[in-house]
Chain A
Amino acid sequence: MALLEVRDLRTSFFTDAGEVKAVNGISFNLDRGKVLGIVGESGSGKSVTAYSIMQILASTGKIVGGSIKLDGQELVGAGEKVMKTVRGNKISIIFQDPMTSLNPTYTIGHQLVEAIVLHTDRDRKQAWDRAVEMLRLVNVNEPEKRMKQYPFEFSGGMRQRVMIAMALACEPDILIADEPTTALDVTIQAQILELMQQLQEEIGMAIIMITHDLGVVAQLCDEVIVMYAGSICEQGTADEIFYNPRHEYTKGLMRSIPTADTAGQRLQPITGTPIDLLNMPEGCPFAPRCDAAMKICIHQRCERMEINDDHAAACWMNVKKGIEDGTIVPEKKQEGGEKA
């Protein structure tokens, strides 16, 4: 059994303008000790997925369907009492902006101790020792002295280390990292990624890495989910996604990154702008921006289809290819398109 099982998760925000389906039926598994990357543009629903798992959505947001099972225990509808034992203990989260995630009016030590006392049965003295140990683990120099300092005395990279120390203090099974390095410089980003990788190997926790940076994904992740407009368009091992992308959106993303080979040439961007979640088309959400869009893409959403054991995608192009190769037998005439 997978550590975390998400099935057909649906999260909506109810705004004055109408219902925004931020996460629209996504399913995935996370095994112990694995690193799962979730990539997508702003508004693709990657952060909302994380917040739904933690149930820390804004007041207008609500999980409207699906199931989230942690170690077999259902979390959707489980209530605040259960969630309080999950948050911090079993699943921890670190946020993008280390500048605003710490309280500027308390010392680092105070904030670390508070988190540890809240989630474990340690007393303050033991919690203090544990906090120092955690700071040492994340390579903060002179942790005893640093414990008595305030967040403003820390640089961005150091604050993110403190956030990681806090998230790991209760030895969670899963660490959700929501764009943990986006606000940091590349050299500091390299330090933090290295640290996460090393801690993950030592402690053996699973990580959900939410990012828009494909470089970070390539570096850290075993498996990757590519999201667009609240849905998963492609999912598979990192190697499969990078070297054998099978969704037009993923292909477009890969083409739009500048590399050594593109210098002096034009990039091949994805045309158009991201979709308005209030006016979702009935077909594939990516169809309006897709160069390869066919008639069926506009009218009907493609179901998830297994490419191989390590790879699945929801793109009609794969069905078309399957029909051409003879691996899929269409039910009706040409554009029937349903999987056989």
Chain B
Amino acid sequence: MTENTNRPLIEVKDLKEYFPINTGLFRTKPLKAVDGVSFSINKGETLGLVGESGCGKTTVGRTLLHLYKPTGGEIYYDGKLIKTKDDIRRFRKKATMVFQDPYSSLNPRMTVADIIGEPLDVHKLCKTKQERQDRILELMDYVGLNSEHAARYAHEFSGGQRQRIGIARALAVDPDFIVCDEPVSALDVSIQAQVINMFDELQDRLGLTYLFIAHDLLVVRHISDRIAVMYLGRMVELAPAGEIYDHPLHPYSKSLLSAVPLPDPKAARANKRIVLTGDIPSPLNAPSGCPFRTRCQYATDACAESMPEFKEVEKGHFVACHRVKEIN
């Protein structure tokens, strides 16, 4: 944590991202991948974003960086609205991304030095060749790569090493904010722990702010200060990490957390899982009212009628559920 801990670095208001889907000749229907999501991330904080595949968590991360043009809503960086192309260009120097798949996100024809150096070239951050070279070596040192690896190609590295290259590339522009999209899910347990520690260390050293997207809930709890749970393009719960694990309020968060297989046989035997029936509905045919009602054991007729508001029920604990008071 650095100075200004309580000022939001990133603020997202009512973010929407719809993708047009062809449903017939000349006819399209919007797929509401993200439908009205609001949150803020303080400086030096890690916000974890969890949910099942298809819930829109990756889209939130990408839209936030303007990799997709938002359909609606506003994104503020350091209190300033990002609107024009110039804003976006400036924002991209301060906000970068680490991708999930360390195999497909690195160009096989480029050396490690060129991969890490590319953002420096794009943003014209280095004046001389020597400066560029020094910066690349400094970045490699940050992520624990040997300077002699600079001339090698990505395929010569293991998954964990590649992810380090990807992180070095994200750090090249000296960002304040990094979107980490499932950065450790492709890695083995022993390597995963090394990379998680590196994220922690870099945060302490460089004062970074993270949006950490993952489906592994144990990893997210470990790394995050606050956690947001998404379902079908909407945020259903947002609370401090410990709070959401100990006292989840939304029925979806409860079942999601109880489904995590605990690496402890006695706890696993004692754990009472709330097994959800059915699958996540298609975002093309989202249920009316509360999106979770079709799988919710507490759903009533009222849940089908209106969308529950995302409101603060305890300090810092936001939930979108009509019956949150009754069921807890």
Contact = CB atoms under 8 A, between A and B. Distances in A.
Give chain A's interface secondary structure class.
Answer: helix
Contacts of B53: 185
Nearest to A268: B193
A190 B262 contact: no
Which bracket fits the contact residues of B?
A: 35 or more
A187 B52 contact: yes
Interface string A258-269: 111011001111
B259 A186 contact: yes
A216 B261 CA distance: 6
A186 B260 contact: yes
B221 A263 contact: yes
A267 B188 contact: no
B300 interface: no
Given A238-B265, A267-B193, A157 B188 contact: no
B273 A157 contact: no
B302 to A, nearest CB: 24
Contacts of B261: 186, 189-190, 193, 213, 215-216, 218-219
B193 A269 contact: yes
Contacts of B190: 41, 252-253, 256, 269-270, 274
Which bracket fits the contact residues of A?
A: 35 or more
B189 A256 contact: yes
B291 to A, nearest CB: 15
A242 interface: yes
Interface in B255-296: 255-256, 258-268, 273, 275-276, 279-280
A95 B262 CA distance: 23
Nearest to B186: A42
Nearest to A158: B279
Contact of B256 (A155, A186, A219): A186
B197 A239 contact: no
Give chain B's interface secondary structure class.
Answer: helix
Nearest to A42: B188
Given A186-B260, A219-B261, A242-B263, A273 B160 contact: yes
A259 B263 contact: yes
Interface in B200-226: 200-201, 215, 217-219, 221-223
A270 B193 contact: yes
A194 B258 CA distance: 13
B241 interface: yes
A188 interface: yes
A84 to B, nearest CB: 35
Nearest to A186: B259
A185 B219 contact: no
B38 interface: no
Contacts of A186: 52, 215, 217, 256, 259-261
Contacts of A266: 197, 200-201
Interface of B: 52-53, 158, 160-161, 188-194, 196-197, 200-201, 215, 217-219, 221-223, 241-242, 245, 255-256, 258-268, 273, 275-276, 279-280
21 contacts: A41-B190, A155-B279, A185-B280, A187-B255, A187-B276, A189-B261, A190-B273, A190-B275, A194-B273, A215-B262, A217-B263, A218-B264, A219-B268, A257-B189, A258-B193, A258-B222, A259-B222, A260-B221, A266-B197, A267-B193, A274-B158
